[in-house]
Amino acid sequence: MARIVDFFAAEPVRVSAVLRLPLIALIAVLVWIWEVDHWLPGLYAVVLGTYAIAAVVWVLVALRGPLPRWADWASTGVDVLVIVVLCLVSGGATAALLPVFFLLPISVAFQDRPWLTGIIGTLTAAAYLSVWIVYSKRDDRIGLPNMVYTHFGFLMWLAVATTALCLVLSRRSARVKALLEVRRQLVSEAMAADERRHREVAENLHDGPLQNLLAARMELDEIRERLPDPALDAVHSALQQTAALLRSVVTELHPQVLAQLGVTAGVRELARQFESRGQGEVIADLEEVGKPESETLIYRAARELLANVGKHAHATVVTIRLARVGDRVVLTVADDGVGFDPSLVADRVAAGHIGLGSLLVRVDAMGGDMDVDSAPGRGTTVTVTSPPEPAFVRP
């Protein structure tokens, strides 16, 4: 099942959470291969087992949703603490576990705070030296080899290197965020200008040609009452159809229901129109979300997705959901149609089918998310999530 949005790309802490699992497996394998005698074997097994269970639970938590800012450095701090504890209770396993210290600073290089990377890297080097000092005090035969100071120096260098790497990455990330914000503003201004233009065209059509048609039809009605004529009936029918077509164009350019009642009523009207055209049964679960700043984006997404279902899905049942989730508005359109391969969206855009692709670009540029879950023969579910919205007070 293909998805357009890559969940792992959102937060570096998720990458670290996943990488922690093979690190724990490596620790267990190293100690098992060396066949060492632990100082405190029972405590060692409890610490390593608890660490493994906590790491698995943390991966599940990290994959489920947003994490607080302190989660990245706190999880790495726990790594350093656990490795120190394992070293202290492992006795002869020291030689197998100490190289793990060299892996820990790398995990914080994914973060965008160089000062935090430097602190954790320095603490890792200090923890390495502290473990050796504890060993040298506990067992006079071990002492403190000169190689320990070399390793300590390497760890300090690694802390500096990862901090520099993090600094470069954070600056690049800041530039990318600035460019994305500029892009979002440009798209937002373009959409606002497009909306203003649509409103102007709709008003001109409504106040000009449509009113002229309606006036002509009224005059024709008076003439038909005095002089019944089949030719006049044909002209009346043509005027009526043209007026209905103009009303449809005006509504599409600037839907009054959206301007007056909000996006919930607008999406409900789209669902009613879709079902009235006989394009399938519609199950609508629409929560009142007020008038969010992104209501035009959500409305146009609903209209585009329903149009795609009507043209391509051959569905019998369409489910539409609209709700507030935290500070965002979430629209979901699901159908039981023929489905497709989402990885082919780019190819379809190149072939001239720009509907879904352009919607994806608009949603992404506005700071929202769009997830397409589909497969041939299994229907399609598209979830559009708005950018963060101001708080909404329910009536």
**Confidence at residue 283, expressed as pLDDT on a 0 to 100 scale:** 93
- Same domain? 293 vs 205: no
Q: Dihedral angle at the C-alpha atoms of 26, 30, 32, 38, nearest 10 degrees?
A: -110
Q: Which residue from 29, 151, 140 is spatially nearest to 101, judged by alpha carbons? A: 151
Evaluate whether residue 2 is within a structural domain. no
Residue ranges with strand state E in 143-290: 281-286
C-beta separation of 43 from 86 below 8 A: no
- Residue 103 Cα distances to 34, 76, 128, 210, angstroms: 19, 11, 12, 72
Give the pTM: 0.55
Helix 12-34, helix 41-64: angle, nearest 10: 160
Evaluate whether residue 391 is within a structural domain. no
Angle (nearest 5°) at CA 240 between 238 and 243: 110
- Same domain? 172 vs 293: no
Average pLDDT over residues 301-316: 89
C-beta separation of 2 from 341 below 8 A: yes
Q: Examine the fold and report which residue of 144, 160, 183 is the final residue of a domain before the chain moves on.
A: 183
Average pLDDT over residues 172-190: 79
Looking up tokens 């079902």, which residue turns up?
275
Evaluate whether residue 1 is within a structural domain. no
C-beta separation of 266 from 317 below 8 A: no
**Confidence at residue 2, expressed as pLDDT on a 0 to 100 scale:** 37
Phi, psi (5° rounding) for residue 369?
A: -130, 150
Phi, psi (5° rounding) for residue 44?
A: -60, -45
- The one-letter code for the residue type at 80 is V
- Same domain? 248 vs 277: no
Q: Residue 321, Cα to own-chain centre: how many angstroms? A: 18
| pLDDT tens digits along 121-162 | 888 888 888 877 877 776 656 667 777 788 888 888 888 888
Share of the chain above pLDDT 70, in %: 80
Evaluate whether residue 307 is within a structural domain. yes
SS3 310: helix
Evaluate whether residue 191 is within a structural domain. no
- Residue 10 banded pLDDT, cuts 50, 70, 90: very low
| Number of folded domains that form the chain | 3
Q: Examine the fold and report which residue of 215, 236, 253 is the final residue of a domain before the chain moves on.
A: 253
- Residue 190 Cα distances to 108, 231, 284, 353, 366, angstroms: 39, 47, 31, 21, 11
- Same domain? 242 vs 289: no
The domain in which residue 206 lies consists of 197-253
Evaluate whether residue 105 is within a structural domain. yes
Q: Examine the fold and report which residue of 183, 206, 239 is the final residue of a domain before the chain moves on.
A: 183
- Same domain? 126 vs 150: yes
Evaluate whether residue 124 is within a structural domain. yes
Which DSSP category does 177 fall into? H
- Same domain? 178 vs 203: no
- Same domain? 143 vs 227: no
- Residue 177 banded pLDDT, cuts 50, 70, 90: confident
Instruction: List CB contacts of 80: < 8 A, sequence separation 6 or more.
Output: 104, 120, 123, 124, 127
Measured CA to CA, the distance from residue 158 to residue 105 in angstroms comes to: 7
- Same domain? 11 vs 113: yes
- Same domain? 242 vs 277: no
- The yes-or-no verdict on residue 14 having pLDDT over 80 is no
- Same domain? 18 vs 132: yes
Measured CA to CA, the distance from residue 78 to residue 85 in angstroms comes to: 10
Which residues face 328 on adjacent strands?
325
- Same domain? 22 vs 42: yes
- Tell me the two tokens of residue 2: 């293909």
- Residue 6 banded pLDDT, cuts 50, 70, 90: very low
- Same domain? 175 vs 202: no
Evaluate whether residue 28 is within a structural domain. yes
Q: Which residue from 92, 112, 263 is spatially nearest to 177, judged by alpha carbons? A: 112
